Structure 1
Amino acid sequence: MLRWRNRKQKSEKTQKQSLQEFDYQFIDDLKSVKISASLEENKDFLNEMFADCSDFVIREFYIERSAKAIFFFVDGLVNTQSANEAMKTLMVIEGKEYLIERILETSLPVTQTQQADNYADMLKSVLGGDVGLIVEGNTQCILMGIRGMEKRSIQEPETEAVIRGPREGFVENLRTNTSMVRRKLKTPRLKMKPMTIGRESNTSIVITYMEDIADPALVDEVLCRLEKIDIDAILETGYLEELIQDSAFSPFPQIQYTERPDMVAAALLQGRVGIIVDGTPFVLLVPFVFAEALHATEDYYERFQMMTLIRWLRYVLLVLSLLTPGLYVAFTTFHQDLLPTSLLLSVAASREAIPFPAVVEAFIMETTFEALREAGIRLPKTIGAAVSILGALVIGQAAVQAGIVSAPMVIVVSLTGIASFTIPRFNAAIAIRILRFPIMIAAAIFGLYGILICIMLLLGHLANLRSFGVPYLSPFGPISSNDMKDAMFRAPWWSLKERPSFMTLKDSTRQGDELSKEIKEQGGQRGMSIQHDNEDRGNVE
């Protein structure tokens, strides 16, 4: 008895020493801490780590009334019914199969299982929604993928609504998002590499690409940049976007984000790489060029003639959104002789009682318009749009009547705001809105010469930008005539036989040329060669 007590005291002392040495800051620090063969020691470790965590559950039970085991999981992240079924199956197991390997092979009614021999891998899975199982005498832990957390249902994305096209958008669940991409591309060539980033958040990330299309060097570069990230948490794709983009100080986006699975599938078929992050409905796509900022998903679902005209309209409105306030300031301040006489007299009469110069007037209205737009976003949806529209009308009319701004300036700011809304990519529209202000300042100081200087500096900056090695102005600079069919124009699908040539691809052929040759040879009138029954009857008669 005395020997047993001494052995027990020695065991308790060793256990306490282990608990004291079990010090860590982040989960990755636990790679070297192996799972103990002593179930009580593992249980004490878990209780120590998850002290004051009411959502962490440890359930102790017996396998065939002889071997101790524990189930542990985070309440709210797992399917408790499936967890109970697995536990019930283990309780009535026969044959004294206590080894982890035998349990995996014969007993568990779970399709997704894996093993872990250290606390780092075990905790990452359990905190991600898996259920852990440790059996007395084993140094391995079974991790069961029976997640059942609450998630938002699939809905139409609000930021990329379309008239014609799929109505489904990504949600905050990683596996739901990967399955939606897999439904679009049913091929084993679609690869999805998992990764975990964030010392505290341990956010799950999936890098997806088409193995037979994407350049391996691009995939390696994406993986390399992500692996170098050392941060406490990744809560949204915006964290990753700023950490892995090429030029951190450029206002222009070098990485695209989208809520639409069809857009991700189309980008992967172009040889691009997608980054899916758990906890957000937005997926990152790299590389990204400026021409794609003016492309909408619906461009490829409607007839090419109409979509080509709309693309031209977007380019025109892009220029108007960027330059209209600056041109107004330049014309009214320095270059009045360039305006028609009737227009000049009308503008001069409207500005006669205005106490501010044109640039101050422009800044007042632009700042007010941006404030109303921001207020419309932050307010509840039921009143946000009404407040922004009515606010613009009321404030604009009141400002004109009070003599603070002129009526032409209200028209200019309204036209500029409408033009900026036509840019499909919100982050690209933000860059244009930011650059509008320095252009107005340059126009107030140097007139049209200042605007030209700003345009030259802007084009030089865009020409110098790269997105994962791809020139940002592609296919305009360096120019590629073949890629113009899907940049400046929207060519018909039967003529888009090649993928973008400004990217290095393993396979650049999108489709065969048999159909396109037939359409060109017959002038698109293939129906003229079809013989109908009524014509045959006429010939017989």
Structure 2
Amino acid sequence: MRFLNKSFKNRREQSLSSLNNQNEDLTQKDELNASLSQNIKKVKETLGNSDDIIIREVRVGKERKLKAGIFYTEGLIDAPSIQNFILESLMFHMQDIDIDKNVSFKDSPLQVLKESVLAVGDLKELTDYKNFFNLLLAGNVILLLDGYTQGFAIGMQGGKDRGVSEATSENTVRGPKEAYSESLRTNTALLRRKINNQNLWFENKKIGTVTKTNVTIAYIKDIVNDKVVEEVRQRLDRIDIDGILETGYVEELIQDETFTPFPTIFNTERPDVTAANLLEGRVAIFVDGSPHALIVPSLFVQFFQTADDYYQRADIVTLLRILRYIGFVIALLGPSLYIAITTFHQEMLPTPLLINLAAQREGVPFPAFIEALMMEVTFEILREAGVRMPRTIGQAVSIVGTLVIGTAAVDAGIVSAAMVIVVAITAISSFVVSSFNLSISVRMLRFVFMGLAASFGLFGIIVSLIALSLHLCSLRSFGIPYMSPLAPFNMEDQKDVMFRFPHWGLFSRPRLISQKNVKREDTPLPKPDPRKQK
């Protein structure tokens, strides 16, 4: 596990010493003051009299003898709910209550508010400033009464968010179109709609000494491996960082301690993909403010699977998966094989093709490796430019730039036409790989294979493939072998790797991931056809 080293942690602690000194009151459980005015003064001093912190003082009870203070963060709460369920209840529904007659502890105004006045569901009691500020800045409404060292935190989180929209990076032809948003509760609700079961558990943690970001762990209790859940808890608890702004922070801090270009944690923006992985015994990690969920443990074969694979017929899906694996091989080895064959192993080519390639390269001043390197770097620049440019012109620039530069390079005699074809096929094949993270890994390794092919020919490619296989087999994701069920080989789990069996054939969960409640269904065979029984 790659966590912050000791020296970096020391530098971070020194840089935050002044901030910790200013907010040392927040780290101690100081009790709330009985005076409402003192509490208001404390809030204003601690939060720098920020404009987004709204403080409203009202008088409640019969003859308006009791003062109450309402605190909330503008933009993080549902404003109409405050009007309808808090202010209206305090100022009108409580006007007939005689405070003087309710002086015993049992019938104190706080008890009356809790049991008879406040028409809200999420109500927490608080007695100290630490919880006061944590709940206030998390989008709760705080209610304090003058003369009491106890208050209420009312859950009325709201405000504006992007809402549920269509998935952008994991498009499907058939199936649900909804995707996660930046709201943590919206994301967990989407998952609840997919899995309506009491064993779907959520555990919440706050990570980040400054941001205190909500991070939620989701799993199905009677399916998940308890050791994996405990490992996830421990790795999250070890994170010591100022802030968590996206799932990428968590992914980098909890992944296994390996230096590899391959992703060992899967991420998705689709609730149905998350639900399917939880049903296999995996754990999902949500971060407030991120529209993606992390899935652990993750396997190499998992990055070739898409949501469409389980909404289409099994034979169609099998063909598409084979195409993805072929595309992966072409994207990884396409330019290197061309360099090796045209440079060292010309005897492998048919004579007419060899003569044609030689004629094309007659006026090219660079070797095949330099050709491929220039074209690959140019295409990567165009691809990155298309991503960063405004959406309305990004695609046009990528297409026009590729066509113009490729045609001009061939006409100028800088590269051969065959090299342009090889680079184009390689680029298109990289888009066939369903996972964007795995596609980036292939793009990185492609240059390594090109250099080895230019130096040693096919021998260099074969040796590098062996080294790559050994590296992949050495990887683990939360204790699970990365290449399973291929290495170690498990015949029973091959039903959802290269091929996808029909749903009636997917009768068991992956053995290494879920070690309890392994059966998906009672009958692993298809139901008999009544017409054949006659």
Regarding TM over 0.5, the answer is yes
Larger Rg, first or second structure (1 or 2): 1
Which amino acid is 1:131 matched to? V
**8 Å Cα contact 2:44-2:50 kept in structure 1:** no
CA distance in 1, matches of 2:496, 2:23: 48
Equivalent of residue 458 in structure 2, options 448, 458, 461: 448
CA distance in 2, matches of 1:172, 1:74: 18
Task: Classify 1:356/1:295 alpha carbon distance in 2 versus 1 (closer, same or farther; 3 Å).
Answer: same
Percent of aligned positions with the same letter in both sequences? 45
* Counterparts of residues 381-420 of structure 1 (less than 5 Å): 381-420=391-430
- Deviation, 1:140, is 2.2
Segment drifting more, 248-257 vs 365-374: 248-257
Tell me the residue number matched to 1:33. Answer: 30
Which amino acid is 1:391 matched to? G
CA distance in 2, matches of 1:262, 1:518: 26
Tell me the residue number matched to 2:371. Answer: 361
1:352 aligns with 2:362: yes
1:518 aligns with 2:523: no
- Deviation string 1:496-527 (CA, Å, 9 cap, x unpaired) is 1100112243211101117x2534xx5xxx55
- Deviation string 1:461-520 (CA, Å, 9 cap, x unpaired) is 110100000000011000011111001110000011100112243211101117x2534x
**8 Å Cα contact 2:166-2:179 kept in structure 1:** yes
Equivalent of residue 57 in structure 1, options 37, 54, 57: 54
Tell me the residue number matched to 1:214. Answer: 224
Which amino acid is 1:467 matched to? S
- Deviation string 1:41-89 (CA, Å, 9 cap, x unpaired) is 2111101012241111111122221222211111111112211230231
- Deviation, 1:31, is 3.8
* Counterparts of residues 478-517 of structure 1 (less than 5 Å): 478-513=488-523, 516-517=525-526
CA distance in 1, matches of 2:347, 2:25: 70
- Deviation string 1:13-45 (CA, Å, 9 cap, x unpaired) is xxxxxxxxx974568952422222222221111
* Counterparts of residues 35-184 of structure 1 (less than 5 Å): 35-64=32-61, 65-85=64-84, 86-92=86-92, 93=94, 94-96=97-99, 98-184=108-194
**8 Å Cα contact 1:30-1:118 kept in structure 2:** no
Which amino acid is 1:232 matched to? D
CA distance in 1, matches of 2:514, 2:298: 14
Equivalent of residue 325 in structure 1, options 325, 330, 335: 335
CA distance in 1, matches of 2:186, 2:223: 24
**8 Å Cα contact 1:321-1:416 kept in structure 2:** yes
**8 Å Cα contact 2:208-2:243 kept in structure 1:** yes
CA distance in 1, matches of 2:75, 2:511: 48
CA RMSD of aligned residues (A): 1.7
User: Aligned to 2:179, what secondary structure does the other structure show?
Assistant: coil
User: Aligned to 1:32, what secondary structure does the other structure show?
Assistant: coil
CA distance in 1, matches of 2:36, 2:119: 23
Task: Classify 1:405/1:207 alpha carbon distance in 2 versus 1 (closer, same or farther; 3 Å).
Answer: same
Tell me the residue number matched to 1:290. Answer: 300
CA distance in 1, matches of 2:28, 2:302: 43
CA distance in 1, matches of 2:22, 2:423: 53
**8 Å Cα contact 2:493-2:511 kept in structure 1:** yes
User: Aligned to 2:201, what secondary structure does the other structure show?
Assistant: strand
CA distance in 2, matches of 1:303, 1:379: 38
Which amino acid is 1:89 matched to? S
**8 Å Cα contact 1:99-1:138 kept in structure 2:** no
- Deviation, 1:313, is 1.2
Structure 2 residue runs without a partner (length 5+): 1-18, 103-107
1:234 aligns with 2:244: yes
CA distance in 1, matches of 2:81, 2:120: 8
**8 Å Cα contact 2:247-2:294 kept in structure 1:** yes
CA distance in 1, matches of 2:178, 2:24: 36
Which amino acid is 2:463 matched to? I
Tell me the residue number matched to 1:374. Answer: 384
CA distance in 2, matches of 1:442, 1:505: 42
Task: Classify 1:301/1:132 alpha carbon distance in 2 versus 1 (closer, same or farther; 3 Å).
Answer: same
**8 Å Cα contact 1:72-1:133 kept in structure 2:** yes
User: Aligned to 2:518, what secondary structure does the other structure show?
Assistant: coil
Tell me the residue number matched to 2:105. Answer: none
Which amino acid is 1:500 matched to? P
CA distance in 1, matches of 2:163, 2:531: 44
CA distance in 1, matches of 2:304, 2:119: 51
CA distance in 1, matches of 2:379, 2:165: 31
User: Aligned to 1:491, what secondary structure does the other structure show?
Assistant: coil
Segment drifting more, 213-222 vs 376-385: 376-385
**8 Å Cα contact 1:27-1:123 kept in structure 2:** no
CA distance in 1, matches of 2:24, 2:336: 54
Segment drifting more, 428-437 vs 32-41: 32-41
Structure 1 residue runs without a partner (length 5+): 1-21, 531-541
User: Aligned to 1:284, what secondary structure does the other structure show?
Assistant: strand
Tell me the residue number matched to 2:350. Answer: 340
**8 Å Cα contact 2:135-2:153 kept in structure 1:** yes
- What number of residue pairs does the alignment pair up? 503
TM-score, length of structure 2 as denominator length: 0.91
Which amino acid is 1:314 matched to? R
User: Aligned to 2:206, what secondary structure does the other structure show?
Assistant: strand
TM-score, length of structure 1 as denominator length: 0.90
Which amino acid is 2:65 matched to? S
Task: Classify 1:383/1:23 alpha carbon distance in 2 versus 1 (closer, same or farther; 3 Å).
Answer: closer
**8 Å Cα contact 2:132-2:142 kept in structure 1:** yes
Task: Classify 1:30/1:224 alpha carbon distance in 2 versus 1 (closer, same or farther; 3 Å).
Answer: same
